[in-house]
Amino acid sequence: MREEFPAMLRGFRERAGRSRNNLAQEVGVDPSYLTRIEHGDREPPRLHIVEALARALRLPLQDTNRLLVAVADSRSGESFEVHAPAEKALDVFRHPFAYAAAA
């Protein structure tokens, strides 16, 4: 079962002991925007915001990848622009055995 972005983000934020206001301020978004995202009232944010959230929460690569995959899954059918390093991370996350065999 795939995790949904709002619940995943909320879980990472709570695990880090961060308030919505504090996290929103560090990332440069309005706290009400972050609240609406966590409640599922807004689509997941664009890639640069997701990356900023991951950095602010000091997420390890695996958790950052989980957030990116959740965003990509939520946007199925839409064009989703992913930067080259993130694209590779998504590919490694989705096909880890292919990369392990090549190493």
Q: Amino acid identity of 80? A: F
Instruction: Report pLDDT digits (tens) over 36-73.
Output: 999 989 988 888 899 999 999 999 988 988 888 888 77
Q: What are phi and psi of 58, to 5 degrees?
A: 55, 45
Instruction: State the Cα angle at 21 between 27 and 78, rounded to 5°.
Output: 50
- What's the mean pLDDT in 65-82? 69
CATH of the domain at 74: 1.10.260.40
Give the dihedral sign, CA 40/84/58/48.
negative
Domain count, the chain: 1
Q: Which residues span the domain enclosing 18?
A: 5-102
Does the pTM of the predicted model rise above 0.75?
A: no
